[in-house]
Structure formats: structure tokens, C-alpha cells
Amino acid sequence: MAVSLHRLFSYVLGALVVTAAAHKSAPSVTSTAASSTLTGIAATAPTIGPSHQVGRLPALGWNSWNAYSCNINETKILDAADLFISLGLADAGYEYVNIDDCWPLETRDASTGRIVPDPSKFPSGISGVADQVHALGLKLGIYSDAGTNTCAGFPGSLGNETVDAEAFAEWGVDYLKYDNCNVPSNWTDAATPPDNDWYNSNSAIRYRQMTAALNQTGKPVHFSLCIWGDANVWEWGDRVGHSWRMTGDVSASWSSISSIIAANAQHLDSVDFFSHNDMDMMEIGNGDLTLEEQRTHFAAWAFLKSPILLGTDLNNLNSTQLDIIKNAQLLAFHQDPIVGTPATPFNATASAPSTSPPEFYAGKSSKGTHVFIINTNTTATKTFEFGNVPGLGFGRFRVQDMWTGKNLGTFANKFSITVDTHDTAALLIHRA
């Protein structure tokens, strides 16, 4: 079993502190309010919540879509799994190997009603791939859709939740990404949801049906809602799944990455244990993002506690890119067993300009207080006052660079650092 010491330690510590770490959301079974005036499907839809045996921390792994789009097969999936081991990604905590759209045949099995893995792409079937992924100590994810068909036109699970959840469980699937394409017109959302709660919207109910079906199988599955920020998902996502997409699809450009950070920064109250805004999959290794932009992409996903699912052919990552995605201090912040909340924007100085996305973020981890500074413009010196960082106050502080582990010195009142164009400074701060 390739379980890293770091992960094992986090797990044990996490189990010890789980009762102490109060979480804002309800336990895994929820019900609609007694005073509810719900009618129709909203009155009878399942209210079972997601399993809390999985999904406490944001997922770390890889997904096939940004790397290969529809052009997938089991060799590529198993190659990614092998590279988790040989590149040290498993030791760094990466565990989910996720198959995206285009894995099945276009029609279900006529007698069982099941979705059928395309035998030309997956000769071992999904269960054969799951066995090999599990043998490496990793977990397997699969993809379906809360509509009649997936975005690429393969069978969707709306109305077939039970038969599909049973198949996924039987095959040994550990993670389900559930997309939002091809929604029939009778499932469209009203302008205002029943009881003014988006949990009762038709969108939420399409996803709740799968939560219930997954629950019935008895196998804990990480449930990832690929709902693109629709239906105010951040308000109800943790009652239905473990993570939820906040936007449309990421692309390998600074404008895409910075706009996703900006969109997500408005809804950070939703992020905690078992409750993760999903900023979409990583583009490190794709397109022509600068090194600094790739560092910001990784750092922001880590300090905002989004799932981090690598999205490139891992064979092509160079050592600088590997150092970014294996950075121990940023991963430790992301996977902190005691603090579930992300870093959030703060006012660095009285005269700090307002930017989109915000440039200055502060948060806690079990190691101390952290400040993250994204430079949204050209190379510049960035300054913040310690007194403006929540929880720090005035005085002298030791500052460490989380990227390098280097001690930057002891400073009074304020701290300044030069940050390159689109780069992110990541700092750990202790009172001196």
C-alpha cells in the first residue's frame, strides 16, 4: 500500500480531532423543515445526505479530461496511476485517479439496463481498472451526468440512478463526478425555488436522487457535483455531495484562472470539512501558462481548499512543475487535519487598492497563520500590516516562505515582498 506517512498521520490526527472540530453543516442525514409548504417533487425528493466516511478533506488526484478530452483508454488511466507512484505524487498525498466523459458505449445493456464500459477503450472493464488502481493503494473515480446524456453524448444517469450507483459500487468506484448536461425541459429550475431554498430546486433534486442511490449501495463514494455554480450550489452542496463546481470549465489561460479565483472568493463561507467549492481541474502542464501563473494556479487552489485534480499527461511535467504540485507546505495547508476553513481576503493596508481577484488572503493552519499574496498585475512590491491580518495583532513576527521553507527574517508592524507578474507569495507567520 502506497500510503504516505503524511497522509497516515493526517488521518489519525483527523480522527482524533474530528469531534473537536465543529463543522457548520448538518450531519449526513438531513430533512426538510417541519413548517415546509413543499409540494410535488420537492416534497417527496430524497433528503439523505452524503457519506461522511469520505470527503472530509478536499480531494487530491488526477482527471483525464483536461489531458485527453474524449480520447481515453485504460492504458492512459493506468499510466497516470503508475506515475502517481513513480513521480512521488502518491507519497505527497495524491490518491484519486479519475476517468471523465467518454468511457462507455452509447447505449445501455438491453437486458440489465446498465451503462457498458466501451470494451475497445477499457478491455478490462471499469472493475478491472479499479482493481489495478486499488492494488497501487490509490482510488478510482468515474463520471456520469444528472441528465439524459453526458456532455459528449454518452448515457446519463437521470432516472437510472439506482442501477448506475449499483454498478459503480460493484465495480469498486470510489469517486463520482456528476455533470449537468442534457437536462430535460421538465427538470428546468423555476426562477425562485420552492420555499426560497435552492436545495429544493429541480437542479438540486437531480443531484439528491444520486446521493440517495449512492447511499443505498452502502459503499462510501466521494460525490462531486459538476454543476458549474448553478442553482446557488454553494448554499446546499454539502447536504448533497462533498464538492461542487463553482464555474464553467477552466482553460489554460490567466484570464480563466484569475476569474475562477475571483468567482470563488465570494463564497468562501461554504468551505470547511466535507464541504468544498470546486474550482475545476488543474491546467498545470497545459497551454502556455507562465511558471508564475502555474504557481498561482496551484497555490490558490490549495489555500482556498478546492479539490486539486491534475489535468495533464503526467509524463510531460518537468521538475519545476513537479516541485510546484508536490510542495509540502501548501499541500499541508490544503489537507490540514484540524482547520477545515480556507484562507480568505483581508485588507492589507488602509490604502490597498481593490482588485479582482483580491490579492491578499489570510488563514490559519495547525502550523500557524498564513498570508498569501497574488500579484494580479506586473512585478511589484506588496505590503501588508500584521495588525490587519485576522488573529495576529501588532508586534514582531517571524516570516517563512512556504514555497522554499526559507526563513525570511523577523519584522515589526508590516511586511513587504516583491511578487512577480501573476505569481503568488505564500507565507507562514509566527509571533517572534
Name the residues annotated as catalytic. 179, 249
Using DSSP's 3-state secondary structure scheme, residue 308 falls into: strand
Residue given cell 508564475 in the structure block: 292
Question: Which three cell numbers mark 343?
Answer: 484562507
What angle in degrees, to the nearest 10, is found between the helix axes of 161-171 and 125-135? 40
Handedness of CA 136, 250, 355, 418 (dihedral sign): positive
Contacts to ligand GAL from residues 210-229, by CB under 6 A: 226
382 residue type, one letter: K
Of 247-286, binders to ligand GAL (CB under 6 A) are: 249
Out of 95, 101, 161, 293, name the contact with ligand GAL by CB under 6 A.
101
Q: Least distance to ligand GAL from the beta carbon of 247, Å?
A: 9
Of 34-42, 145-153, 251-259, 383-391: span binding ligand GAL (CB under 6 A):
145-153
Q: Which of 95, 100, 197, 272 touches ligand GAL by CB under 6 A?
A: 100
Shortest spacing between CB 65 and ligand GAL, in angstroms: 5
Total of residues contacting ligand GAL (CB under 6 A): 10
Q: Which residues contact 71 (CB under 8 A, 6 or more apart)?
A: 102
| Residue 177 CA: distances (Å) to CA of 25, 86, 154, 228, 278 | 22, 26, 14, 12, 11
The yes or no reply on residue 230 touching ligand GAL (CB under 6 A) is no
Taking the C-alpha atoms of residue 62 and residue 54, their distance in angstroms, rounded to an integer, is 17
Q: Using the minimum distance from each CB to ligand GAL, give the nearer residue, 100 or 197.
A: 100
Q: Does 339 contact ligand GAL by CB under 6 A?
A: no
Of the ranges 87-95, 121-129, 148-156, 321-329, which one interacts with ligand GAL (CB under 6 A)?
Answer: 148-156
Q: Which amino acid is at 128?
A: G
Least Å from the CB of residue 183 to ligand GAL = 12
Nearer to ligand GAL, 69 or 416 (CB): 69
Task: State the cell numbers at 333.
Answer: 495547508
Q: How far is the CB of 249 from ligand GAL (least distance, A)?
A: 5
Q: Which of 161, 164, 179, 197 binds ligand GAL (CB under 6 A)?
A: 179
Give φ, ψ of 113 to 5 degrees. 80, 5
The least CB distance from residue 248 to ligand GAL, in Å, is: 7
Among candidates 244, 260, 65, 78, which has minimal Cα distance to 151?
65
Helix (H/G/I), strand (E/B), else coil: 258: helix
- Which lies closer to ligand GAL via its Cβ, residue 250 or residue 324? 250
- The residue among 259, 250, 244, 260 whose CA lies nearest residue 284 is 250
For the beta sheet containing 175-179, the strands, ordered from the edge strand earlier in sequence to the opposite edge, are 276-278, 243-245, 222-225, 175-179, 139-145, 96-98, 60-63, 308-310
Binder of ligand GAL out of 13, 18, 41, 152 (CB under 6 A):
152
Q: How far is the CB of 267 from ligand GAL (least distance, A)?
A: 18
Which listed residue (65, 207, 273, 298) binds ligand GAL by CB under 6 A?
65
- Segment interacting with ligand GAL, rule: CB under 6 A, options 131-139, 146-154, 182-190, 290-298: 146-154
Residue 395, phi-psi category: left (phi > 0), alpha (psi -120 to 50), beta (remainder): left
Which of 209, 103, 115 has its CA nearest to residue 161? 209
Does 181 contact ligand GAL by CB under 6 A?
A: yes
In terms of Cα–Cα distance, which of 220, 183, 216, 221 is closest to 202? Answer: 183
- 149-157, 340-348, 363-371, 395-403 -> range binding ligand GAL (CB under 6 A): 149-157
Identity of the residue, 100 or 238, whose beta carbon is nearer to ligand GAL in the bound complex: 100
Which residue is listed with cell 505564500? 426
In the complex, least distance from residue 411 CB atom to ligand GAL, rounded to whole angstroms: 42
Q: Point out which span in 26-34, 144-152, 386-394, 395-403 binds ligand GAL (CB under 6 A).
A: 144-152
Length of the chain: 432
Give contact residues for ligand GAL (rule: CB under 6 A).
Answer: 65, 100-101, 150-152, 179, 181, 226, 249
